[in-house]
């Protein structure tokens, strides 16, 4: 009997392929482990951005570095919602898993990545992983760069945008379907100092995006 929390054998094979592909790309691009010492990333037309082991607290901004607020000394950025409580409030359950995720490839060893399989009526509808750090903007850039290099001609439903909705924090979103990377739809969201990764099982987009809506308030 197939364990509903881990999907089919075909999915696990795809997940392993994803980790292998992105792991190699991240190494070739020079991301990942180098971030533990000093990370420098330059977008076209921008000055280099450096992230040190103990970066200062900064206001929420978009992924290209354009500041949208003026921080005050000693003021911490707002904390995101409690992930597990949000899942339960929306009527879902969850299960711990050792499955590796893509964001785990771009964060340093001292930054924890939390991963849960999301269940509805004991059936796996997706997976959520998240990490929290002042460096998540750089992690998102590294991941996005590697993924864009890995996209195949079969990619569909690609959305890569920065959302700035009234009364809500800036949100960087990357989502797509690409069978060369994963059999499931992938979604990556950066909001405040938190970076999320979602895997969406077929026919469960509405349920997972409801969770994303709640977690990005």
Residue 1, in any domain of the structure: no
**Domain assignment present for 2:** no
How would you class 13 by CB atoms within 10 Å of its CB: exposed for 0-12, middle for 13-18, buried for 19 or more?
exposed
Whether 33 is in a domain gets the answer yes
The answer to whether 128 and 211 have CB atoms below 8 angstroms apart is: yes
Task: Name every residue whose Cβ is closer than 8 Å to that of residue 179 and which is 6 or more positions away in sequence.
Answer: 152, 154
Q: Which helix (H) or strand (E) holds 83?
A: helix 83-89
103 belongs to a structural domain: yes
What pLDDT is attached to residue 34?
Answer: 36
Average pLDDT across the chain, whole number: 75
Residue 182 located in a structural domain = yes
pLDDT at res. 28: 37
Residue 56 CA, chain-centre distance (Å), reads: 22
Phi, psi of 56 (to 5 degrees): -70, 155
What's the whole-number mean pLDDT along residues 135-158? 94
Per the domain annotation, does 3 fall within a domain? no
For the record, the structure tokens of 52 come out as: 């040190």
**Cβ contact 200:127 at 8 Å:** no
Tens of pLDDT, residues 164-178: 888 889 999 999 999
**Could you tell me what percent of the chain has a pLDDT over 90?**
54
Are the C-beta atoms of residues 18 and 102 closer than 8 Å to each other? yes
**Angle at Cα 54 formed by Cα 139 and Cα 131, nearest 5°?**
35
pLDDT of residue 17: 53
Q: Who contacts 86 (Cβ-Cβ below 8 Å, separation ≥6)?
A: 211, 214, 215
Q: Are 29 and 146 in contact (CB under 8 A)?
A: yes
* Burial of 55: CB neighbours in 10 Å, binned 0-12, 13-18, 19+: middle
Predicted pLDDT at 99: 87
Question: Does 151 fall in a domain?
Answer: yes
Total domains in the fold of the chain: 1
List beta partners, residue 99: none
Return d(Cα 169, Cα 93) in angstroms, integer: 27
The whole domain housing 30 covers 9-70+80-215
Q: What is the CA radius of gyration of the chain?
A: 17
What is the predicted pLDDT for the residue at 22? 53
pLDDT digits (tens, 9 = 90+) for 89-120: 999 999 999 988 999 988 877 889 999 999 99
Inform me whether the pLDDT recorded for 32 exceeds 50. Answer: no
**Does residue 75 form part of some domain?**
no
pLDDT band at 143; cut points 50, 70, 90: very high
């Amino acid at each position: 009997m197939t364990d509903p929390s881990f999907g089919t054998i075909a999915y696990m094979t795809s997940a392993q392929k994803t980790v292998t592909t992105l792991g190699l790309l991240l190494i070739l691009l020079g991301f990942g482990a180098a971030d533990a010492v000093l990370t420098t990333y330059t977008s076209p037309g921008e000055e280099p951005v450096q992230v040190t082991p103990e970066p200062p607290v900064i206001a929420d901004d978009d992924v290209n570095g354009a500041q949208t607020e003026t921080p005050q000394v000693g003021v911490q950025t707002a904390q995101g919602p409690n992930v597990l409580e949000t899942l339960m409030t929306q009527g879902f359950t969850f299960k711990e898993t050792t499955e590796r995720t893509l964001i785990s490839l771009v964060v340093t060893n001292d930054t924890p990545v939390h991963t849960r399989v999301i269940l509805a009526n004991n059936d796996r509808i997706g997976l959520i992983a998240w990490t929290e750090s002042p460096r998540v903007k750089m992690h998102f850039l590294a991941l996005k760069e590697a993924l864009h290099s890995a996209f195949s001609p079969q990619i569909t439903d690609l959305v890569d945008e920065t959302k700035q909705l009234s009364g809500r924090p800036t949100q960087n979103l990357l989502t797509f379907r690409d069978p060369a990377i994963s059999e499931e739809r992938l979604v990556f969201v950066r909001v405040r100092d938190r970076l999320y990764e979602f895997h969406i099982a077929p026919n469960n987009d509405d349920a997972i995006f409801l969770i994303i809506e709640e977690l990005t308030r």
